[in-house]
Amino acid sequence: MDERKLLIKENLKKIMASLPDGVTLLGASKTVPAEYINFAADCGLKVIGENRVNELLSKYDDIDKEKLEIHFIGQLQTNKVKYIIDKVSLIHSVDSLRLAEEISRRAVAKGLLMPVLVEINIGGEESKGGILPEEAEAFIKKISLLEGIRVEGIMAIPPKCDEEHKNIEIYQKLSKIFIDIKAQNVDNVNMRILSVGMSGDWETAVEHGSNMVRIGSGIFGSRIYN
């Protein structure tokens, strides 16, 4: 077996053994060829997430869709929604009303109900997309009125941080937003997914309530960009 496959198999075995029940493992598969994605599926991976529309489309036919659910986790341009609307089962990265409206429009046209997560800019970073924490509730209530989409939770990419204590506050803040909105039982909102945690921080994220971790290099090895 080639070395990368051995690595994927070992990585998945370790992660799946330490992931608590109820936490979904998503393999962040950007740059990873379909052959290795499908191998990961043979090893038990059930969900992958792609970041770029063009890359997703180029790999789509070769991905083993019997075994894998495909999510979209990257920044999504409004004009590309139409290409993925019937190919993914969850969009993690709704970060504007315009995008939500376009997903709604395209879903309705296809007769679909599209599950989405709202991306929260939990660190309030200017360089990152996402809804500011203080605006999350109002935003979710607003898009919950759109046809063809259903809010299923929130997603975030916490800022990189060396001071562990400060970062824990970030995870706590995120979990509080999730719990508070869930408690309100907003119509057409089913707050069930808190998507946070990547290769470097998933254990901390899970300790603080994450129930969907998106792991890329920790499964597939370091990314080779070309």
Ligand X SMILES: *Cc1c(COP(=O)(O)O)cnc(C)c1O
Q: Applying CB under 6 A, what is the total number of residues that bind ligand X? A: 14
**Per CB under 6 A, does 122 bind ligand X?**
no
Q: Are 215 and 226 in contact (CB under 8 A)?
A: no
- Residue 13 or 110: which CB sits closer to ligand X? 13
Q: Which helix (H) or strand (E) holds 169?
A: helix 164-183
**Per CB under 6 A, does 153 bind ligand X?**
no
- Interface of this chain with ligand X, residues 67 to 86, rule: CB under 6 A: 73-74
Q: How many residues does the structure list for the chain?
A: 226
- Residue 129 or 209: which CB sits closer to ligand X? 129
Among 51, 104, 175, 210, the residue binding ligand X under the rule CB under 6 A is 51
**Per CB under 6 A, does 25 bind ligand X?**
no
Question: Could you tell me which residues come within 8 angstroms of residue 3 by beta carbon, excluding any fewer than 6 positions away?
Answer: none
**Per CB under 6 A, does 29 bind ligand X?**
no
Q: Give the CB-side neighbour count of residue 159, counting CA atoms within 13 A.
A: 17
Q: Give the CB-side neighbour count of residue 38, counting CA atoms within 13 A.
A: 11
> 173 is written with which tokens?
């803040």
Closest distance of CB 145 from ligand X, Å: 27
Query: Would you tell me which residues interact with ligand X (CB under 6 A)?
Result: 28, 30, 51, 73-74, 157, 198-200, 214-218
